[in-house]
Amino acid sequence: NTIHFLFFVCCRALIFPLLIREGKPTPLFTFVLALLFCVFNGYLQGRSLTTYATYPPGWLADSRFITGLLGWLIGMAINIHSDHILRNLRKPGETGYKIPRGGMFEYVSGANFFGEILEWFGFALACCTIESLAFALCTLFILGSRARQHHR
């Protein structure tokens, strides 16, 4: 579970920013808040999984772990594919609003948000810790409100 979390954080923090073409600059305050949240959450998740969480023998074969892992993998795939669609909406130099098409965007207007929410609820189910559930709920409330704004 710790490896899954670290993999996602590394992708989001290192790989994803390198793939973004042009975009609006991020305000420093927003960047600092996001950085603080990620550092605190990373510490909380890592400490929880390495120090406090205990799992019975055979946990990796438990239906909760398997279902959570599948939810995490499916959510991550939706998230990565949706980000790809969003990054390629406009041709270089093109501006203006475009509605994304394809993938989960055919079913929900915020497919990238949906994928990340699914990802972290899968993580929470696989980990079965209060900290992972808190993170999933935080993700739901933050990204859910952003998804609603984008839909409007």
66: which 2 tokens? 């398997």
126: which 2 tokens? 């696989």
pLDDT value at residue 115: 96
pLDDT value at residue 101: 92
Name the pTM for this structure: 0.80
Question: Do 113 and 146 touch, CB atoms closer than 8 A?
Answer: yes
How far is Cα 46 from Cα 130, in angstroms, rounded to an integer?
13
Per-residue pLDDT of the chain (152 residues; tens, 9 = 90+): 556 666 666 666 656 655 665 666 667 787 778 778 878 888 888 899 989 999 999 999 999 999 999 999 999 999 999 988 988 887 777 777 788 999 999 999 899 999 999 999 999 999 999 999 999 999 999 999 888 888 77
CA-to-CA separations, 95 to 33, 57, 73, 133, in angstroms, rounded: 28, 55, 33, 39
